[in-house]
Amino acid sequence: MKNVKVLYVEDEPFLGKIVKESLESRSFEVKLVADGQQVLAAFEQFRPHVCVLDVMLPNRDGFSLAQDIRQRDAQAPIIFLTAKNQTQDVVKGFSSGGNDYVRKPFSMEELIVRINNLLHITQTLPPNGQAAAGYITLGRYRFFPNQQELHLESHVRKISHRETQLLKVLTAQPGSIVDRREMLKKIWGDDSFFNSRNLDVYVTRLRDYLKEDSSVEIITLKGVGYRVVC
């Protein structure tokens, strides 16, 4: 996509200037806002393709802003920038309407990859994440559920039926939180301790399969479930 419009909300002047100039040098069009109270007006006027919101802001926090943005545009991609790393903060961010998050300090390369991947997911894939060609895109990977294959460029990995089931559930709604208990009941039939340990083993395997692309993550939300970010 050319001329991607980014609404960037950051109250640290030096960081805001550096990130804005770095994005603009890569052909992004950037609207920088430093005060939470001004964000919604800027959103309405600028109509960005993606919103990058700092969590801690003067007058309004990023979480409440995301909720208001969601009321105006249910599909607007939202990335949170946060120094927080506790599970409850991550869950709160996703619950308030965020699609992804980047922890501070971050590299510009990581932020740009996150923006591009999120735009790809939200604008080029159907709602269920299934591409017309029969595969699901996960960063540099292509997942073919019917063939039980995971492709990375010319490399093809055959995966098991259970691994395929699990990856299908995790990617059914890109960016959404998948409840752990519901996953266990859907794939194994019940949420017993034994099956719960099996789930942990399979998630570890999938992470290993996807490790060649650092932008693809299966995030564990302790006590809640999982979320795939790419």
Token pair, residue 27, equals 């052909």
| CA distances from residue 60 to 81, 92, 166 in whole angstroms, order as listed | 14, 15, 38
Cα 14 to Cα 76: distance, rounded to the nearest angstrom: 27
Overall residue count recorded for the chain in this entry: 230
* Verdict on whether the full-model pTM lies above 0.95: no
Instruction: Say what percent of the chain tops pLDDT 90.
Output: 32
Q: What is the pLDDT of residue 170?
A: 87
Q: How confident is the model at residue 155 (pLDDT cuts 50, 70, 90)?
A: confident
Token pair, residue 138, equals 């996960």
Q: Is the pLDDT of residue 224 over 50?
A: yes
Q: What is the pLDDT of residue 105?
A: 87
Contact between 113 and 106 (Cβ < 8 Å): no
Instruction: With H, G, I as helix, E, B as strand and everything else as coil, classify residue 102.
Output: strand
Report the DSSP pairing between strands 50-54 and 5-9: parallel
Q: What is the pLDDT of residue 119?
A: 79
Q: Which domains does the chain have, with CATH numbers?
A: 5-124 (3.40.50.2300), 136-229 (1.10.10.10)
Name the residue with higher pLDDT: 7 or 179: 7
Cα 28 to Cα 208: distance, rounded to the nearest angstrom: 33
Q: Is the pLDDT of residue 230 over 70?
A: yes
Q: Is the pLDDT of residue 173 over 80?
A: no
pLDDT tens-digit profile of 19-47? Answer: 999 999 999 999 999 999 999 999 999 99
pLDDT tens-digit profile of 14-23? Answer: 999 999 999 9
Q: What is the pLDDT of residue 122?
A: 60
Q: How many helices (H) and strands (E) does the chain have?
A: 8, 12
pLDDT tens-digit profile of 122-133? Answer: 654 444 444 444
The residue-averaged pLDDT of 183-204 equals: 84
Q: What is the pLDDT of residue 77?
A: 86
β-sheet bridge partners, residue 77: none
The residue-averaged pLDDT of 55-77 equals: 86
